Amino acid sequence: MKSMFKVFKKTFKQRATEPELMDDFSTGGPELREALRHLRRLNRIFGAAAPTLYGVRQLWKEADKPQRLSVLDIGSGSGDVNRRLLRWADEHRIELMITLADVTEEACEEARLLYDNEPRIQVIRASLYELPEGCADVVTGTQFVHHFAPNELPKVVQRMMESSRIGVVINDIHRHWIPWAAVWLVARMVSNNRYIVNDGPLSVAKGFRSKDWDNLGKALGGSELFYAWRPLFRYAVVIRPSKLSPNHRS
């Protein structure tokens, strides 16, 4: 039993390379839309919104707490984590505008339904590489960058930086057997959708550890990267041009 446990833990030393079902853009339709709705349940259960707010708040403070702030959430899915940002903006009387960008029409349709009566939310169908430079103060990616291989990450994050005016916030999963087991179990409790059952645990196996962020920070060169472990088994990663901020890492 002890040896089996060691083998199980060893599987998480490296990021999984298997693509998620959601990465196959040739499929989708009603089943994908259902998966996006069920994913909102998992996000609520595992507190997915909190690390994004943590990072956005950090950049907002460093920018001297502007009254107006624009955020672009790339790979947003239905964008449900941004409801937490809207409540925070209300509490601090910030004029917040959020753009949700996703490459799939299913995600855009779900986002439009979710925010039907919210004028502060704009939904666009676009990929990362279609975004204009400096199109938002802060560019966020929640459970987005784990879809990319390690050699792709620097280019992906650099493109996010180019699209931002203040900085980038990444919210992604800590690669560890505990969240893997938790997601494996809860995904099967809340859904029988094949996207959720397959991609939920796989997304944990494709997640990150501190060494991955250290390597990314070195690869970025002209940007300052700071990361913090946040409940529940997530990382909040804040990236900004190094000339705009002091060296700060947690």
Count of structural domains, the chain: 1
pLDDT at residue 242, rounded to an integer: 76
pLDDT at residue 186, rounded to an integer: 98
Cβ neighbours, 10 Å, residue 243:
8
CATH number at residue 81: 3.40.50.150
Q: Which residue has the higher pLDDT, 7 or 73?
A: 73
* Band (11; pLDDT cuts 50, 70, 90): confident
CB 71 within 8 A of CB 137: yes
| Residue 225 forms part of a structural domain | yes
Q: Which token pair is 201?
A: 């645990």
Report the percentage of the chain scoring pLDDT > 90. Answer: 88
Whether 10 shows a pLDDT value over 80: the answer reads no
| Residue 199 forms part of a structural domain | no
Tell me the average pLDDT across 115-141. 97
| Residue 180 forms part of a structural domain | no
CB 225 within 8 A of CB 217: yes
* Band (3; pLDDT cuts 50, 70, 90): low
Tell me the average pLDDT across 49-76. 98
* Band (55; pLDDT cuts 50, 70, 90): very high
| Residue 60 forms part of a structural domain | yes
CB 35 within 8 A of CB 195: yes
pLDDT at residue 221, rounded to an integer: 85
| Residue 160 forms part of a structural domain | yes
Distance CA 48, CA 44 (A): 7
Length of the chain: 250
pLDDT at residue 8, rounded to an integer: 55
pLDDT tens, residue by residue, 133-185: 999 999 999 999 999 999 999 999 999 999 999 999 999 999 999 999 999 99
Tell me the average pLDDT across 99-114. 98
| Residue 184 forms part of a structural domain | no
Q: How far is CA 193 from the centre of its chain?
A: 21
**Helices (H), strands (E): how many in the chain?**
9, 7
- 3-state SS assignment for residue 222: coil
pLDDT at residue 248, rounded to an integer: 39
pLDDT at residue 51, rounded to an integer: 98
Q: Which residue has the higher pLDDT, 137 or 11?
A: 137
Sheet holding 223-230, edge to edge: 121-125, 95-102, 68-74, 136-142, 164-173, 234-241, 223-230
Whether 193 shows a pLDDT value over 80: the answer reads yes
| Residue 106 forms part of a structural domain | yes
Whether 5 shows a pLDDT value over 60: the answer reads no
pLDDT at residue 246, rounded to an integer: 42
Element housing 99 (H / E): strand 95-102
pLDDT at residue 250, rounded to an integer: 36
Domain extent, residue 125, equals 26-174+209-243
Radius of gyration in angstroms for the set of CA atoms belonging to the chain, rounded to a whole number: 18
| Residue 79 forms part of a structural domain | yes
Whether 74 shows a pLDDT value over 70: the answer reads yes
